Amino acid sequence: MPKSLIDADRLWNDLMALAAITDPDKPYTRRSFSPLFLKGREWLKARFEETGLTVRLDEAANLIGRLDGAERDAPTIMLGSHSDTVPSGGRFDGPAGVLAALEVVRAMKAAGYTPRHAIEIVDFLAEEPSEYGISCVGSRGMAGVLDDKMLAYTNAAGEKLSDAINRVGGDVAHLDRAWRSDIAGYLELHIEQGVVLQNNKIDLGLVTAIVGITRIEVVFEGAADHAGTTLMEYRKDASLAAAQLMLFVNERANALAARKQGRFVATTGILNIEPNASNVVPGRARLVFDIRAEDHAMIGGFLDALDAQSQAIAERDHVRRTQYNVLSSTKPTICDEHLLDLLKRGAEALGLSTMPLASGAGHDAAFVARIAPSAMLFIPCRDGKSHAPEEWTDKEQVASGAATLFEAVRLLDGQNR
């Protein structure tokens, strides 16, 4: 398909129109399960229907637009991403993937191309972390891993996730009907959320893997004492233990990253000190670490070291390590080599440069990969900025990604796996 059949202006205008459905005080915000999120979905539904797609909500409340294929028994080719955002997020994280998929189908129609396989565009429910303490709700539901414990999670108002899914059009009582086993391949376009493509002046990234993410909670208990009357040698300062562990995490993560054996990062994302008063020696410190890597074994080794070091610090500083909890853990997802090859061939046909790289963020593709071959395509974003109002990619970059996506779909549609 000639690149010109992707209507770059139409795709760009759609992105800006969806972005305009936002909390005006916090652009660009459409939190999952909110009235603005539902308004955005109504807008998407109308665009799907205008394109001639059959539109439905599955039992996990994923919005799905379907173009039937010529061969009824052929498995479905699935494209998509998500339309919800983080608070004050950007215009492209999620929506670019959904709307590029829609533009692929529009270009098919413009080219008079009738696919053998059905093509589905999916707006997955709540990919971003939701008020219920869980992300990738819709793709978990489709993959059959949205369990009863998760469904019982509540938001600040006490609403259960199960009730929220039903409220936005799902049917938790029949969630098994959302499970899929008929997908030939899933392709997701996304902004990189990093600077590798920009700094290397590469058009597109072929995502080799989506990192595994483990979050660990550590709590140190010392003694809250008067900051003026308690001599230094008598203190049991929980904040000092926390500070030393933070430094250890940073140093160990840098050492692992320097090995160049795939992406490895670790972050102290939460640090709470109690009683948090200027004239009181801290008696309690709570930390939450976010550890991400392509290689699950590297995470395992890091956690062993974190466990041992946090206990050693506690003993040395005369405090107690009262908690060491794994809050969540997902294994890395390796993207399908065949689909990545199709994306590469599509880019080459358009004269676009590519490079392999890993995704340091989580995506719906990681859960779809549990039930079908899955792969992702990254487009550059300015200065790596994401999850912020300044998030940006150029019109031509989105269009190039959409054109590459179409070429890959056409290649997948024209052959048997």
**Beta carbons of 128 and 89 less than 8 angstroms apart:** yes
82 assigned ligand-binding residue: yes
List Cα–Cα distances, 245 to 236, 312, 321, in angstroms. 16, 10, 11
Angle (nearest 5°) at CA 407 between 404 and 410: 150
296 assigned ligand-binding residue: no
Domains defined for the chain, CATH in brackets = 3-210+333-413 (3.40.630.10), 212-330 (3.30.70.360)
Strand-pair category, 204-210 with 333-334: antiparallel
**Beta carbons of 96 and 34 less than 8 angstroms apart:** no
292 assigned ligand-binding residue: yes
117 assigned ligand-binding residue: no
Q: What is the largest CA-CA distance in the chain?
A: 82
Residues 6+ positions from 281 with CB-CB distance below 8 Å:
222, 223, 224, 225, 226, 227, 230, 235, 236, 237
pTM: 0.91
- Cα–Cα dist 358/205, whole Å: 9
Q: What is the dihedral of CA 364, 370, 372, 377, to 10 degrees?
A: 40
Local confidence pLDDT in tens for the 417 residues of the chain: 445 689 999 999 999 999 999 999 999 999 999 999 999 999 999 999 999 999 999 999 999 999 999 999 999 999 999 999 999 999 999 999 999 999 999 999 999 999 999 999 999 999 999 999 899 999 999 999 999 999 999 999 999 999 999 999 999 999 999 999 999 999 999 999 999 999 999 999 999 999 999 999 999 999 999 999 999 999 999 999 999 999 999 999 999 999 998 999 999 999 999 999 999 999 999 999 999 999 999 999 999 999 999 999 999 999 999 999 998 888 999 999 999 999 999 999 999 999 999 999 999 999 999 999 999 999 999 999 999 999 999 999 999 999 999 999 999 999 644
215 assigned ligand-binding residue: yes
Find the radius of gyration of the CA atoms of the chain. Answer: 23
226 assigned ligand-binding residue: no
199 assigned ligand-binding residue: no
